[in-house]
Amino acid sequence: MKPVGPIPAGYQSKDGQIAVAGHTARDLVEQGGATPLFVYSREHLTKRVGDLRATMPDRLKINYAIKANPFAPLLKHMAGLVDGFDIASGGELAMAQAAGLDPRAISFAGPGKRNEELEAALRAGVTLNLESENEARRALAIGERIGAVPRMAIRVNPDFELRGSGMKMGGGAKQFGIDQARVPALAKEIIAAGAEWRGLHIFTGSQALSAEAIIEAQANVIDLADQLASEIGQPLPKLNMGGGLGIPYFHGDEPVDIAAIGAALDKRFSNLPANLADTDLCIELGRYLVGEAGIYLTEIVDRKESHGSTFLVTDGGLHHQLAASGNFGTVVRRNYPSAIATKYDSEPSEEVNIVGCLCTPLDRLADKAHFPRAEVGDLVVIFCAGAYGATASPADFLGQGAAREILV
């Protein structure tokens, strides 16, 4: 037997099935039209952002990094909850604009921005988080050509990183940001060229569950921002402190202690250096805001035995749930939180392997899990499906196509 990850708070059962916002799994599939289906909960999203705001200093703005989940109805809902969006491509720019957010509350990070993307961003008036000197100069030239004053911040590649983060995005040689030692020179260059200076973006890592590590990284970010502002010779208009708050995916993971992070920020914000006294301060979060608000429902289409093991074969799989299959940045595959959605109240009675319908041994959703007996036609639920699911998985692999998505 292998354990499955912890089921996030906020899910109920109704008529023996898992329910979201009072709708059973079968009702949700009827609403969505078919399986496989992603279901995102408005109520869950609203509560998540509200709880976070209640524990963070009022001064801290909360941005949503839309690459975690750009489903249009979800973005519209998030636009009413958060202070800004972080985007990482021209495609995401179009999605953010369609969601109705003020472009001045949008910032555009990400390496390899093409000239067309830079031009669209400058025309829209979003802030560019510059990833290289070359990108800065291309954007300045485009601004001059189209008669737009570029709003520019610099993404810093700091010399430190967020300890214990699932994905390291700072420290040492990286494709992200500009090495901290070269930041002051570039900042002076773009200010002299007439850009609107929007400050610094310092992203140190992702998917961390240790409050202590996040507190340490945030303290280092503030110190570095102060030092760079001094070298640049102006107070900072804005500091995007990055994000990094993770969610529990696996057995033994504990939720991050946001109260501890909020208390440390409160203390630090009450005693900021002069360079940061009037700075607009924000964090940018993806999975923490939306990950637990989504589930993935897939139907069992076959039940078979092989050498004494039971396989439940579903109509979904890694083409929608690459991360749950263990193929998106994990070294050792472990089970995501999952359950039999239509036997949600029943006692576990057998060990099963839940797999997808793709013709590859990589397509596994739960290994040796202890679940109630399920038959063909029952539904399986995978939790933590609100982030890096639908758009972070190869939907067209094997000609399968996209899953349906609904927001309830």
Q: Which of 326, 303, 300 is CA-nearest to residue 314?
A: 300
Query: Is residue 359 flagged as an active site residue?
Result: yes
Contact 279, 360 (CB under 8 A): no
Among 25, 52, 109, 265, binds ligand PLP (CB under 6 A): 109
Residue 375: both structure tokens together: 């038959």
C-alpha span between 262 and 264 (Å, rounded): 6
Residue type (1 letter), 327: N
Handedness of CA 13, 363, 331, 405 (dihedral sign): negative
Residue 237: both structure tokens together: 């208009």
Report 352-391 residues binding ligand PLP (CB under 6 A). 387
C-alpha span between 129 and 107 (Å, rounded): 7
Q: Is 248 in the site for ligand PLP (CB under 6 A)?
A: no
Q: Is 226 in the site for ligand PLP (CB under 6 A)?
A: no
Q: Is 286 in the site for ligand PLP (CB under 6 A)?
A: yes
Instruction: State the CB neighbour count (10 A cutoff) for residue 347.
Output: 9
Q: How far is the CB of 86 from ligand PLP (least distance, A)?
A: 6
Among 284, 292, 299, 405, binds ligand PLP (CB under 6 A): 284
Residue the block writes with tokens 């485009």: 142
Q: Is 6 in the site for ligand PLP (CB under 6 A)?
A: no
**Which uninterrupted H or E stretch holds 295?**
strand 294-306
Q: Is 107 in the site for ligand PLP (CB under 6 A)?
A: no
Give whichever of 65 and 312 is closer to ligand PLP, judged by the CB atom: 65
Q: Is 325 in the site for ligand PLP (CB under 6 A)?
A: no
- Name the residue with the smallest CB distance to ligand PLP: 286
Q: Is residue 287 exposed (0-12), middle (13-18) or buried (19+ Cβ within 10 Å)? A: buried
Angle (nearest 5°) at CA 273 between 131 and 62 = 55
Binding mask 193-222 for ligand PLP (x = CB under 6 A): ----------x--xx---------------
Q: Is 287 in the site for ligand PLP (CB under 6 A)?
A: yes
Among 5, 243, 316, 386, binds ligand PLP (CB under 6 A): 243
Contact 228, 178 (CB under 8 A): no
Q: How far is the CB of 175 from ligand PLP (least distance, A)?
A: 11
Q: Is 288 in the site for ligand PLP (CB under 6 A)?
A: yes
Q: How far is the CB of 131 from ligand PLP (least distance, A)?
A: 10
Residues with Cβ within 8 Å of 316's Cβ and at least 6 positions away in sequence, in order, are 35, 36, 296, 298, 299, 356, 357, 365, 380, 382, 403
Among 285, 340, 384, 406, binds ligand PLP (CB under 6 A): 285
Q: What are 61's strand-pairing partners?
A: 282
Binding mask 50-89 for ligand PLP (x = CB under 6 A): ---------------x-xx-----------------x-x-
List the catalytic residues.
359
Where on the chain is the footprint of ligand PLP (CB under 6 A)?
A: 65, 67-68, 86, 88, 109, 203, 206-207, 243, 284-288, 387
